[in-house]
């Protein structure tokens, strides 16, 4: 169901990109954010037909563009937009890119688990990998931070048939998170991986929100609050997160540093012999 090419480097490139020299064809799905290479107009897809594709920018302005080869930029790279396949055409895929398994009943939960730091992490994992996790019988729980991770792991009691995978924010050398992760990484039945972002919000590609990049927040300022201030959004982190999450439609909306780590955890807790409860 998943690519095994996640690699060991959390800063590795996106393995799903085409080989150098190829111009990929990308379905013009609703909410896909692209830039017209000729005019620089950047917006989300709101319609696609025989006449072309309609984009809407962050100010609500709409423009129609023809579906010409290599006419658009996606994450700064040239792409050719094509009309999405009609319902029932082609192999149906989940938001993670895996083949969609239709008509299945939820598998009995495994003894193994995946823990993530907070509610937003859990909601993002559910939105992209929820189908895969239900097929595999994997439960995702959130920790509300990693400060108590050693005690949480000890209480879980990892062992054969009961693996624990943990996704940590801001897991970079020298960070508090890296020191905590080192305390629980000795067991062969525990895998702690992480991404370099201060918060999982930043794992969503900024282009999906119609901004060039996530703001740089000064030291000493809470990251989420600083982001909201810089973007001019209301200081309601819950509403802001729903706005961000609403722009996420599939794996292509997330940074590869997060994609690879989640797939690595799913493979770890579903390896042969891990069993079910």
Indicate if 127 and 34 belong to the same structural domain.
no
Residues 60-89: tens digit of each pLDDT: 788 999 999 889 998 788 989 988 876 555
Residue 89 lies in a domain: no
Indicate if 142 and 258 belong to the same structural domain.
yes
Indicate if 69 and 183 belong to the same structural domain.
no
Strand partners, 254: 204
Indicate if 117 and 78 belong to the same structural domain.
no
Indicate if 64 and 122 belong to the same structural domain.
no
Residues 118-153: tens digit of each pLDDT: 999 999 999 999 988 988 889 999 998 889 999 999
Indicate if 76 and 147 belong to the same structural domain.
no
- Domains in the chain, number: 2
DSSP per-residue string spanning 30-95:
TT-EEEETTT--EEEEEEE-SS-EEEE-TTS-EEEE---TT-EEETTEEEEEEPPPPTT-S--B-T
Residues 161-200: tens digit of each pLDDT: 899 999 999 999 988 899 999 999 888 999 999 999 999 9
Structural domain span for residue 180:
113-204+248-269
Indicate if 62 and 133 belong to the same structural domain.
no
Q: Which long-range contacts (CB under 8 A, 24 or more apart) does 173-180 make?
A: 177/146, 180/146, 180/147, 180/149, 180/150
Indicate if 177 and 258 belong to the same structural domain.
yes
Indicate if 74 and 120 belong to the same structural domain.
no
Residue 93 lies in a domain: no
């Amino acid at each position: 169901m998943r690519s095994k090419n996640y690699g060991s480097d959390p800063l590795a490139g996106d393995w799903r990109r085409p080989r150098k020299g190829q111009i990929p064809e990308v379905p013009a799905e609703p909410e896909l954010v692209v830039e017209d290479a000729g005019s620089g107009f950047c917006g989300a897809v709101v319609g696609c037909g025989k006449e072309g594709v309609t984009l809407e920018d962050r100010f609500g302005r709409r423009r129609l563009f023809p579906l010409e080869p290599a006419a658009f930029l996606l994450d700064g790279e040239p792409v050719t937009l094509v009309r999405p396949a009609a319902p029932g055409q082609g192999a149906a895929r989940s938001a993670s890119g895996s083949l969609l398994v239709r008509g299945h009943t939820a598998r009995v939960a495994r003894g193994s688990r995946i823990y993530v730091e907070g509610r937003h992490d859990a909601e993002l994992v559910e939105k992209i990998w929820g189908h895969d996790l239900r097929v595999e019988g994997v439960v995702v729980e959130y920790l509300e931070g990693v400060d108590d991770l050693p005690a949480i792991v000890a209480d879980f009691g990892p062992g054969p048939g009961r693996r624990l995978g943990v996704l940590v924010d801001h897991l970079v050398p020298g960070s508090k998170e890296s020191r905590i992760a080192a305390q629980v990484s000795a067991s062969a039945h525990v895998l702690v991986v992480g991404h370099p972002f201060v918060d999982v919000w930043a794992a969503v590609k900024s282009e999906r929100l119609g901004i060039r990049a996530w703001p740089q927040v000064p030291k000493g300022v809470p990251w989420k609050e600083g982001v909201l201030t810089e973007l001019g959004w209301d200081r309601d982190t819950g509403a802001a997160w729903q706005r961000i999450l609403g722009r996420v439609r599939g794996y292509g909306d997330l940074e590869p540093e997060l994609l690879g780590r989640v797939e690595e955890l799913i493979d770890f807790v579903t390896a042969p012999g891990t069993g079910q409860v």
